[in-house]
Chain A
Amino acid sequence: MTGLRVAGTNQHYDLDPEIFGLFLDPLRKYSSALYESPDDTLAVAQERKLRFVAGRLGLSGGERVLDAGCGWGSLLLFMAREYGCRMTGISPAPRQHEYIEARAAELGVSDLVTVRSGYFEVTDLPERGFDAVSMLGSIVHMPDLGAAFRAARRVLRRGGSLYVSESCFRSTAAHAAHAARTGTQFVAEEIFGWGDMRPLSALVAGAEDAGFSVVAVDDLTAHYHRTIEDWLAGVRAQRERIEALAPGYSSVLERYLETANAGWGYTTKHYALTCRNSR
């Protein structure tokens, strides 16, 4: 379990949640939005993205959904509120859970939202207990890709859906060439503690090897670029308040976001992979 211990150093997500409230959208969704027009605000585009995920997962109301790597609960709270889904979130960052539970109470959806601390890959969640599983930008932090896909399949009912969106090196060759570069190492190790942007082909192989059928692949690269431009504008506008909460961190955040945005298309892509637990 060495890999999991390494992932445990993933402290970025356990920083004061208020920092993220200063540059993310009001839902604090820390993954790609989905833009339709040049006028779309980040908030509008993040809500659209959550409806897109609901569509890919086939949610119509009341389903049992597991969000692995739930962040500050944007997806949990949105699906509970908008679709009446029974939501379970799991992540290893305790400060996220306090925040989610408080927000769920404010929104009156505490009975629909459960948060668990721990590692999804080794979780004891009930077998076949969910209609859908989502993993938005979390598999990148899971050292054992096969274990992650197997865990998703184990907890899904037959016919259930899995949505995985992830930042990927553009190819196996790009993964090999750039994984050790300064920019990659800075983001993976200094920001997150551990991360590996496997190419889409590795994600597809992981899904297939676990027994999933792949039903859709979406290229969200341009959307993530614009999302990060919006986050960068937020960081720059809120620099003083970020510094007050975490001295020195605004420039670290800026470097992370600029590094990520320089690579899209050249070295990296952002894909959504939708799978079904069926033949």
Chain B
Amino acid sequence: MTIPVTDPEIVTTVTEIAAIELGVPAANLSPETDLREIEGMDSVKVLRMIAKIEHAYDIELDDEVVFDLTTIAGTTEAVRAALAERA
């Protein structure tokens, strides 16, 4: 693994990917930002974000996470769980 996997590092990576895929500055995203409330948000953008995150960590997130995703903190938790399951 070349990608950092501690919680704060996952938050940073997830935030960077979210900023690019959702089209908002990373500075506007906190771990608790409700991603569904971002202007111009749609399910296609969310799926692209998920795909990028899964690709970055070489994991598959559970469907419950994919379709009920609301925050970066929640996504980080799901990534951590998927990494732990794989380890």
Q: Which residues of A contact B (CB under 8 A)?
A: 177, 181-183, 258-259, 262-263, 266-267
The residue in chain A whose Cβ has the minimal distance to the Cβ of B61 is A266
Residues from chain A with a CB closer than 8 A to the CB of B43 are 181-183, 262
**Shortest Cβ distance from residue B23 to the other chain A in the assembled complex, whole angstroms:** 13
**Shortest Cβ distance from residue A185 to the other chain B in the assembled complex, whole angstroms:** 12
| Inter-subunit contact B50/A183 (CB<8 Å) | no
Residues from chain B with a CB closer than 8 A to the CB of A177 are 67
| Inter-subunit contact A266/B42 (CB<8 Å) | no
* A-B residue pairs, 9 tightest by C-beta: A262-B47, A262-B44, A183-B44, A262-B48, A259-B44, A266-B47, A183-B43, A266-B66, A181-B43
Partner of A183, one of B42, B51, B67: B42
B interface, over-half SS: helix
A interface, over-half SS: helix
Residues from chain B with a CB closer than 8 A to the CB of A259 are 44
Residues from chain B with a CB closer than 8 A to the CB of A182 are 42-43
Contact with A along B27-54 (1 / 0, CB 8 A): 0000000000000001111011011000
**Shortest Cβ distance from residue A156 to the other chain B in the assembled complex, whole angstroms:** 38
CA distance A262 to B47 in the complex (A): 6
CA distance A181 to B46 in the complex (A): 13
Residues from chain B with a CB closer than 8 A to the CB of A183 are 42-44
**Shortest Cβ distance from residue B85 to the other chain A in the assembled complex, whole angstroms:** 19
